[in-house]
Amino acid sequence: MDDVRVAAIASLTPLEELDSDPFLVDTRRQHALCARWADDKGYVVARQLLFYGIRPDHEALWADVEAGAVDLFVAANERVLARALTSVPGFRAECARRGVRVETACSDEPACEPEYDAAAKAGVHRRLSMPTAGYDGC
């Protein structure tokens, strides 16, 4: 299989920040943006990762790379990386050291982010505040 396998990084951001930066709270749309980016390039999203302030050398980031299941990392934008990781420069350096690419799907932020009106924010709030048992976010 010649597919490039992608790990899409989303940032876990507290629901309390929904009004100030709804895209950082909306992990579903972060992953969707990464999936569109990967699809446009003919890549396959092999993993969807959710992190908040993880160290660049943390084993959770690198397990799939070491297992040969991931060839590159993508995040929706630099803000997502900055929230997901304790050090974006440290992560980029670790990627370079390990020979793994890291990309951002949206280089023109926030222009490529979805618009969030009151109804969209309410939908994100409802999805994230519901009990997880059996709720799929629809």
Sorted by where each begins, the domain ranges of the chain are: 5-129
On whether the CB atoms of residues 56 and 50 are closer than 8 A, the answer is: no
d(CA 116, CA 25): 11
Query: Given this model, what pLDDT does residue 1 score?
Result: 47
2-44, pLDDT tens digit by residue? Answer: 689 999 999 998 888 888 889 999 999 999 999 999 999 999 9
Run of H or E residues at 31: helix 27-40
d(CA 129, CA 124): 8
More confident residue, 138 or 28: 28
97-133, pLDDT tens digit by residue? Answer: 999 999 999 876 666 777 888 888 888 888 877 755 4
48-98, pLDDT tens digit by residue? Answer: 999 999 999 999 999 999 999 999 999 999 999 999 999 999 999 999 999
Q: Which CATH architecture has domain 5-129?
A: 3-Layer(aba) Sandwich (3.40)
